[in-house]
A and B are shown apart, each in its own frame.
Chain A
Amino acid sequence: MTLTVLTVDDSRTMRDMLRLALTAAGMNVVQAEDGVHGVEVLATCAPDCIITDINMPRMDGFGFIEAVRADAAKQTIPILVLTTESDADKKQKARSAGATGWITKPFEPEKLISVVKRVVA
């Protein structure tokens, strides 16, 4: 079954790279540009997994994750945050907001796919 992944990132470059890696692994990709947009998109689709950046305008990653988890129907969608290596406190904060796990930047496509597969049933 084809997995659908929602990627939320304000960087066009990052969105393109995520899409490249995910579609190469046979997944469908839906994109959003920031937290607000991500919430809008979620109203119309149910991805199998969400990958989100932290630093975004309008609504950052933390806000977005909280917004997602606030919806009872979306408690169990795995949410992965994109972080750079040294963001220990960010990971903790993301976890508290409800993130499932993380992907470190810069990412190798295979690593990205393996993390996604880890958290998706």
Chain B
Amino acid sequence: MDPMASIRDTFFQECEEQMEALEQGLMTMEEGDTSSETVNAVFRAVHSVKGGAGAFKLTELVSFAHAFETVLDKIRSNQLEPNPEIMRLLLKSADVLSDLVCLCRDGAAIDATQYDGVLGELNSTAEGAGGEPEDDFASIDFAPAMISFDLPTIDIPAGDAPAFEMPATEQVATGFRIHFRPHADLYRTGNEPLLLIRQLKSLGSIKCTCDTSALPKLADYKVNESYLAFDIELETDASALDITQIFEFVDGACDLDIQPLMAEAAGAGPFVPPMQLPEFDMPPAEQLAQPYVPVYAIPPAAAAPVVEIVSPPPMAAAPAPVPVIDVAQKEKPTSSGPAPTIRVELDRVDRLINLVGELVINQAMLAQRLGPAVASSGSEALASLEELERLTRDLQDSVMAIRAQPVKSLFQRMQRIVREVADQTGKTVRLRTEGEATEVDKTVIESLADPLTHMIRNAVDHGLESPEGRASAGKSEEGVIKLTAAHQSGKVVITVQDDGAGINRPKVLEIAKKKNLVPQDATFTDSEIDNLLFLPGFSTATTVSAISGRGVGMDVVRRSIQALGGRINISSKPGHGSSFTLSLPLTLAVLDGIVVSIAEAIFIIPLTSVVETLQPENKMILDLGEGSHAMRVRERLVPLVDVGQALGVRAEPSKPTESVAILVDTESHSRSALMVDRIIDQRQVVIKSFEHNYGPVPGIAAATILGDGRVAMILDVETIADSKQRERMESASKDAAAKWAKAS
């Protein structure tokens, strides 16, 4: 890969980290900690982004970052107080910066009007603060002291100057005479006169003399003082500016005097004015009768002997070449004693995880094939097999933990969402987080971003009352949303809780009935009503708000969570608020399931959904006509789902009494009984993605590889169990053929 492209990737990766650090730092500042350490960290984050952006010529990013950095600089040098208004500006700026980084990374066009306002605010804030206004990139640094030559002007009547006689000797500037006296400081900064003189040499030819006039007697000689000066005659076409540039690093650390060098030139000729000098007029011919005397001093004839510049002894004896240590591999330790870390490419981790997944499958295959033989040969072999299984499982757990990351970055993103939505809705909201350090598989974190965003938006937009509403309910103006994460019995539990008005149950029921999502005369428990929110097509907003009403309903959220193998629950207390609880598996890769056979094909039903298994008997079965049946289970009537038919793998309907019914609970707490031919066993299976190579299949969540190497499908219980979704699935399967069809 082109090295610059690789560094560009590094840059954007680093920007992500910097944005996190920036957000973190700003949050800390908002909570009242404006110590220099915190402010500096914030400054550095923006400064770092600016630096890299400059290297890649991302001008809009650079100029915004610069304005941002300027304000932060004022704050850290105590010229600006970070009051709440300023903090708001900083947070907004962080959001803009983050957006610009993303646009730059994706190579998208940047619309300056989007952030002009913020940029303007930053600029005016910086100007209003103490100290001198910074010039954007104006170089007002060590400008070389320009040497001016004051010369009297001599009038010459125009047109009256014949080819005048040249003086016998004429002066032509061929270079410069430089007097250079280093101060002690010069040496202390690691500068070296030899190098400077060498650079002069590169401009032309030089004659260098050492001026030892300041050298004291040996007794008075101080080792750290500087006593030597150098007189250099440089013949060159370069300008005085070029010369002062050579000395730019040592300006102020030396005495430097640059004069033009006038050399004697033989013969007459047209007068050539010396370089760099302002033009001066020739005296009228009469005045030239006198020998022409230049008005600047001619240095005395060189009296001191010309001294060859001898290289000074080597500064420090260079040790034997040191092997290059690329310390960039080391992670930056935190100030509180580092946990040693190592940076590994995600690809490698993924490969490792795949291999371990294979190992698990293989171990299962081994157990299955050897099982019968081992069982008869003795308990030792059996013990070994069991030990192997245990080790494999442990290995898998450890490997999965490698990809585990704290949810902190995800929660931080939510802070921004809250800010935005609060702004848009005119509400004051605070997001409290707990359990940021809880670790979750990286892929889970990424998949959680969208659903969580939606829930948070909902909470702010619909969950929390308006400021007036809150006031009249006796609540504080600031609404609070609590976002927590924790490990609980082998799962990750994430809650989103708001202290708003809670779910308006009557309204929800009304809307559900109006949209025909539920039968008109049914009664529901409170909890069942709450769960109606998860029905597709449901939305309580009478006006589809721009914020949450983009057609992304809670059903999509639930679907995303289920796709991760998790569950989501909702609970609410009127007047007090609502709470969503997500529970996710720690690792995505494995699933406990019941292995069943349907029409000679093997399927897996995830155990999380299963309530119990039953053998239907005639007296339990109710024929609903048109091939549907229901089953009576302890006073409740539960629909019987012919899975084989639903999936289209069986032409003839199954007979309930010849099937096994698996009672499943759906997220909406409704029950269904899935009919399968027989149950084979229950085991843990490794989940293999289906979608990657093929695409989504309605009714199928994923695939797995069985002990004998065959592929088996893992059922999507929600879709199959729910009748409406089943219908949709059936029509989707007609589309499946369509997606393959080519326009003829």
Contact = CB atoms under 8 A, between A and B. Distances in A.
- A and B associate: yes
A100 B7 contact: no
A20 B48 contact: no
B322 interface: yes
Given A2-B321, A4-B322, A55 B194 contact: no
Interface stretch (B134-142, B536-544, B567-575): B134-142
A119 B249 contact: yes
Contacts of A77: 190, 316
A34 B49 CA distance: 17
Interface string B1-34: 0011011001101100000000000000000000
A10 B142 CA distance: 27
Nearest to B139: A85
B7 A119 contact: no
B346 to A, nearest CB: 16
A39 interface: no
Given A10-B44, A41-B327, A105 B55 contact: yes
B142 A41 contact: no
Interface in A78-114: 78-79, 84-88, 91, 95, 98-102, 105-107
B46 to A, nearest CB: 10
B302 interface: no
Contact of A73 (B194, B195, B316): B316
B7 A20 contact: yes
Contacts of B253: 95
A28 B135 CA distance: 37
A69 B191 CA distance: 13
Nearest to B199: A118
Interface string A9-32: 011111111001000000011111
Interface size class on chain A is 35 or more
Contacts of B324: 4, 28-30
B335 A13 contact: no
A99 B189 contact: yes
Contacts of B321: 2, 4, 28
A80 B546 CA distance: 53
Given A46-B319, A99-B189, A31 B328 contact: yes
Contacts of A105: 51, 54-55
Interface in B314-345: 314-316, 318-319, 321-322, 324-328, 330, 332, 335
Contact of A106 (B54, B319, B335): B54
Interface residues of B, number: 57
B404 interface: no
Given A91-B142, A121-B194, A11 B48 contact: yes
Nearest to A98: B189
Contacts of B138: 85-86
A76 B48 contact: no
B189 A10 contact: no
Contacts of A28: 321, 324
A28 to B, nearest CB: 5
A103 to B, nearest CB: 11
Interface in B42-82: 43-44, 47-48, 50-52, 54-55, 57
Contacts of B335: 57-58
B47 A85 contact: no
B188 interface: yes
B326 A55 contact: no
Interface in B518-561: none
Contacts of A31: 326-328
A52 to B, nearest CB: 12
| Residue among A44, A58, A75 with max Cβ neighbours from chain B (10 Å) | A75
A58 B319 CA distance: 29
B189 A41 contact: no
Nearest to B317: A46
B387 interface: no
A55 to B, nearest CB: 5
A55 B44 contact: yes
A16 B2 CA distance: 13
A12 B405 CA distance: 21
Contacts of B328: 12, 15-16, 31, 33
Interface string B125-140: 0000000001111111
Nearest to A46: B319
A100 B249 contact: yes
A50 to B, nearest CB: 9
A56 interface: yes
B254 interface: no
B225 interface: no
B41 interface: yes
Contacts of A14: 48, 51-52, 55
B192 A121 contact: yes
Interface string A38-60: 00010011101000000111100
Nearest to A50: B190
B327 A69 contact: no
Contacts of A88: 140-142
A102 B11 contact: no
B61 to A, nearest CB: 12
A10 B192 contact: no
Given A10-B48, A29-B324, A55-B47, A17 B191 contact: no
Contacts of B52: 11, 13-14
A10 B332 contact: yes
A17 B140 contact: no
B188 A75 contact: yes
| Residue among B134, B135, B139, B249 with max Cβ neighbours from chain A (10 Å) | B249
Contacts of A20: 3-4, 7
Contacts of A33: 327-328, 330, 332
A112 to B, nearest CB: 11
A12 B249 contact: no
Given A13-B55, A17-B7, A57-B44, A76 B192 contact: yes
Given A12-B328, A46-B318, A100-B189, A55 B43 contact: yes
Interface in B644-699: none
B136 A84 contact: no
A105 B66 CA distance: 13
A-B pairs, top 5 by smallest CB distance, nearest first, are: A101-B249, A106-B54, A13-B11, A88-B141, A100-B190
25 contacts: A2-B321, A12-B13, A12-B14, A13-B14, A15-B328, A16-B6, A17-B55, A31-B326, A31-B327, A31-B328, A45-B322, A46-B318, A55-B43, A55-B44, A56-B44, A57-B332, A69-B188, A77-B316, A86-B135, A88-B142, A91-B142, A105-B54, A106-B55, A118-B199, A119-B192
Interface of B: 3-4, 6-7, 10-11, 13-14, 40-41, 43-44, 47-48, 50-52, 54-55, 57, 134-142, 187-192, 194-195, 199, 248-249, 252-253, 314-316, 318-319, 321-322, 324-328, 330, 332, 335
Given A13-B55, A15-B328, A74-B316, 17 more contacts: A12-B13, A13-B14, A16-B328, A20-B3, A20-B4, A46-B318, A46-B322, A48-B318, A55-B43, A56-B44, A76-B315, A77-B316, A86-B139, A101-B249, A105-B54, A106-B55, A119-B195
